[in-house]
Structure 1
């Protein structure tokens, strides 16, 4: 029988297998934030295409759990007659299952798509978790795209700053210290960093989908589709044991007897645990050591970040100068610039940069009420015009051969009302409070998150997302382990870490505001650190209540804008240079 509804087809299949429900995560076997179309089972099942979510399909109900960024978006994309929307963090799925499902319900899950920490929490629900390894959705997804086979390229040591052999030796030494025989790596960005390669399986995420095993002597087995390897150096390939990805789980079980595997409970599929245990091995649950090695950038990587941000800043200025001129002119002519047109023009400016590869994530080009959705992406059916009496929010970035960029500016092209001005000023003050902060070396992200929120809290306002995240080096735009958010993040910040600072405020049906710079952590006074901005883009002050800024805030803005002006003036177009000079004028001049 041909089903037209994915839910009806899935429920029929579950009934045939005597299952009461199934969990469908927004993830692949590598816990990728952005999935290849082949792996996007949640979108196929629900219509939701955000980067974080989890569905529970039952015989008579379907629930979609998403975080605060996607509460509005989910309700727009999903058929609400079919799905209930729940909060991923405020209402964890294992607690919902415990409180709402009878004990013993048979709930299916795919062990390659669930990490161990999630599996353990689900075990507390009282449900009978049934591991399915034959990809049941594939039976009903008749138009499923092919698995990606993107080419892999070398990352030369002139850009990476450390050889593959050196990195592998460091990982081996780390394993030996822990008494582990093998490290199973399932995160593609960790593999890319370790082997000094970059991939093209997923747009904007230059990582190769693959798995790896590292032995405590530094030897590596790489489980990767050989069709992706045509462009790699023969010396690298000769130094690594290449195997098919399909053999990864079997290989873990084959090697396990009498051996100890180091697994990351938050990243490794629980299928790896099952394989090691079934093979007679032991497990050390510990964070993948590559994750922290990768986050502590070397001098060559930091130089690349700085250089790529200069290029990106020039592209931003050329774009903003064009936008500032065109928005009022086109609006007056009755042919306003739209969100999609703006993001296409911005991409065109970036494509003029020598080292630009692609965007680092899908641009958030959001006018007026669309910006109230933190991770909104414009489409023909939602493509708002950019108006002079509404905010326009642009969050975008680039992948460059020598770095990755991410920045947000909220722009005003005319007159916005007093409420918007007050909200914008509070977001700016929070941004300034954090980016100018001096803090003890080793401070953890959650310990300083409130600095960015305090001006909003004083107004009785807040935002439901983190304040900052790590950024990869020509790698993932959201890089573990560092985060600044309310949730505890136990990783100390030290010189060489690269993060974002991005407070915001979002009023549904009205407007959204976010100001974001990418920063590096640098040494300050003995025992202390501070942030140095990598982002070089003017901050729009036209919607700021300038009397509410204190002297320290004004001094930071003036110093920052002077740096932006002096660095970018020789690089931007002649048409953009006058705009840049005006946009970076001292605050006192603008007050006058």
Structure 2
């Protein structure tokens, strides 16, 4: 008899319930990018550990849908004898079902894990969607981790820049303008921002898993595990009604009769809409207004970003100076530095900085061919050496008391091939082409995306990920709604927003390149905006074909590097200063500039 596996156990459970299949998303009830171990059913079932994906389990085959970031990683982590790998966006699961399954197949799903936009697409696929009233993983996941109960802390007004009472009053006005009676908030970062709270349920994600029901007068019912609130002074909770998370659906049904209730179609579980409709309420599908309120940073928040990026820049320069000394010497000695050793040293430098709390995401420390997986994470089994002639890519960030950082640098040690130089230069020119851009106020992210790809497109190359994402204020590293990518992002880009710029290129099984700065959008000429870099880290020019840069690009690099040098040189370690001055030298004064 064959040994049971999570996949075979799930199939057996589905068969006993008269189901032909089940959808298993990489999602929790909050659509979190990083699931708590308790909620990461996709990883338990498939072995895939990426942040976005969906499995369709049938009795005779199983499919894993992942986006372009994870096509390589998914094939490394899953058993190809059990799972077929498909593209999440190029071949959506609803289209696959419509084209490959007989009509009427009973496909189970958990309504707390599916949002309305997914539900509507699947309803048109020809299958019969069956909402499960139970969690089948409760019976097959025998050593399932417990739900998280991380303590909640306060985000005081001198860091948040606005009282929660003022935020709630502003939200109430917006709800009245929209003509709704209630807003159901299921995104933990929106709740954390509204209540000036931060959480610790999942490392590197400082939000408490919870729900909220907000009335049109700004009154809040907070559905949160009381165990998480032991560190919060009761006076801060006096005007908030506290309830258990398990009470959310019943409460929504209870208040629904004759009411208009706002739900976010891309984030709220369809279970909530089912409850509202069962209670006789009207669902008003609209993006959660908190998402936009939160993304427009106030002056205190912006000052916090600037301060924490100064601290992070110091950590980066100390780290890069150490790496520049150690990497060649260790390679020559026959005991080269490894990915894990380097990322540990970088974390140690960050931990020395004022206000540092934890990493803002798992560091991508990738040498050689590992960097071709753009969301690679080093493990003891994959821990590669950093050697001359290869690229080393480091994408990392920090959660500080007053902000969140995210930056990427690709470094060259020793001579690299002409092809590598050509590709690095194309990425660099894309980075410069976008970060130097002035654009009309209100421009949308997808309208700017091509500026970062032009250098690669001229070589017939491209990358399969977005060019930039919003960053939260000591919140999520990927913050909605703003994004620069090929996909339409219909939200206006305005001063006060914080986003990244990060073009890249990845040659499978060879190397990866990415350059990333975090920027704030500021006013430019009347009616226009431009980007101001928050990131303070020298850009490695050793692999660049400097003669291919325009004078405008060179001028920006020189101005940026002078600013980085002036800001950081008084703060970095004494032994790091010579490296900093060399790394920020004017382009025309560099020894490798052809002239």
Which TM class, normalised by the smaller chain length? over 0.9
1:569 equivalent in structure 2: 569
C-alpha displacement of 1:277? 0.2
How far apart are 1:582 and its partner, in Å? 0.5
Aligned position for 1:114: 114
Q: Secondary structure at the residue paired with 2:575?
A: coil
Structure 2 Cα separation of the partners of residues 579 and 135 of structure 1: 56
What residue is the counterpart of 2:423 in the other structure?
Answer: 423
In structure 2, the partner of 1:270 is: 270
TM-score (norm 2): 0.99
Indicate the larger mover: 230-239 or 53-62.
Answer: 230-239
Q: In structure 2, what is the equivalent of residue 520 of structure 1?
A: 520
User: 1:338·1:386 contact (CA, 8 Å) conserved in 2?
Assistant: yes
| Deviation for aligned residue 1:230 | 1.0
Alignment partners' CA distance in 1, 2:358 and 2:132: 37
User: Hey, what's the Cα distance between the residues in 2 that align with 1:247 and 1:355?
Assistant: 37
- 1:506 aligns with 506
Question: Distance in 2 between the 1:413 and 1:560 partners?
Answer: 23
Return 1-10 or 402-411, whichever deviates more.
Answer: 1-10
| Conserved? CA contact 1:3–1:9, under 8 Å | no
Report deviation, 1:2: 10
1:147-226 matches, within 5 Å, as 147-226=147-226
Equivalent position SS for 2:574: coil
Question: What is the match of residue 311 of structure 2?
Answer: 311
Residues of 1 paired with 2:237 and 2:444: CA distance?
39
Residues 490-520 of structure 1 show CA distances to partners (whole Å, capped at 9, x for unaligned) of 0000000000000000000100000000000
Matched, 1:383 2:383: yes
**Gaps (5+ residues) in structure 2?**
none
2:235 corresponds to: 235
Calculate the TM-score normalised by the size of structure 1.
Answer: 0.99
SS at structure 1 position matched to 2:99: helix
Counterparts of 2:232 and 2:443 in 1: how far apart (Å)?
Answer: 40
Name the CA shift for 1:2/1:458 in 2 (closer, same or farther; >3 Å). Answer: closer
Partner of 1:228, secondary structure, is helix
* Partners of 1:22 and 1:107 within 8 A in 2: yes
Asked if 2 retains the 8 angstrom alpha-carbon contact of 1:198 and 1:206, the reply is yes
Residues 126 and 137 from structure 1, CA distance in 2 versus in 1: closer, same or farther, beyond 3 angstroms?
same
Whole-angstrom distance in 2 between the partners of 1:103 and 1:522: 52
CA displacement 1:34-86 (0-9 Å, x = unmatched): 00000000000000000000000000000000000000000000000000000
Instruction: Report the counterpart of residue 294 of structure 2 in structure 1.
Output: 294
Which residue does 1:400 correspond to in 2? 400
| 1:350 aligned residue | 350
Q: How many residues align?
A: 592
Tell me, in whole angstroms, the C-alpha distance in 1 between the residues paired with 2:82 and 2:584. Answer: 51
In 2, Cα distance between equivalents of 1:482 and 1:454: 21
Name the SS of the counterpart of 1:162 in structure 2.
Answer: coil
What does the per-residue CA deviation read over 1:158-211, in whole Å, with 9 as the maximum and x for residues that have no partner? 000000000011111111111100000000000000000000000100000000
Which residues in structure 2 correspond to 1:435-454 (within 5 Å)? 435-454=435-454
Give SS of 1:575's match. helix
Q: Counterparts in 2 of 1:32-47, with a 5 A limit? A: 32-47=32-47
Q: Distance in 2 between matches of 1:33 and 1:442?
A: 27
Q: How many angstroms apart in 1 are the aligned matches of 2:565 and 2:326?
A: 22
- Structure 2 equivalent of residue 485 of structure 1: 485
- Counterpart Cα distance in 1 of 2:3 and 2:491: 48
Q: 2:272 aligns to what SS in structure 1?
A: helix
SS of 2:481's partner is strand
CA distance in 2, matches of 1:300, 1:154: 16
1:239 to partner: Cα distance: 1.1
Offset of residue 234 of structure 1? 2.0
Q: Could you tell me whether the CA contact under 8 Å between 1:427 and 1:505 is conserved in 2?
A: yes
- The 5 A counterparts of 1:15-94 are 15-94=15-94
* CA–CA distance in structure 2, aligned partners of residues 366 and 513 of structure 1: 10
Cα displacement string for residues 253-309 of structure 1 (whole angstroms, at most 9, x for unaligned residues): 011011110010000000000000000000111000000000000000000000000
**Alpha-carbon deviation of 1:11?**
0.5
**CA RMSD for the aligned pairs?**
0.8
Q: After the TM superposition, which residues 138-149 of structure 1 pair with which residues of structure 2 at under 5 Å, given as runs?
A: 138-149=138-149
Question: Which runs of no fewer than 5 residues in structure 1 stay unpaired?
Answer: none
CA distance in 2, matches of 1:3, 1:415: 51
C-alpha distance in 1, partners of 2:383/2:514? 20
Structure 1 residues 397-428: Cα deviation after superposition (integer angstroms, max 9, x where no partner): 00000000000000011110000000000000
Could you tell me how far apart the structure 2 residues matched to 1:138 and 1:63 are?
Answer: 22
Q: How far is the alpha carbon of 1:137 from its aligned partner?
A: 1.2
- The alignment partner of 1:415 has SS state of coil
Paired residues of 1:154 and 1:233 also in contact (CA < 8 A): no
Q: How far apart are 1:3 and its partner, in Å?
A: 5.7
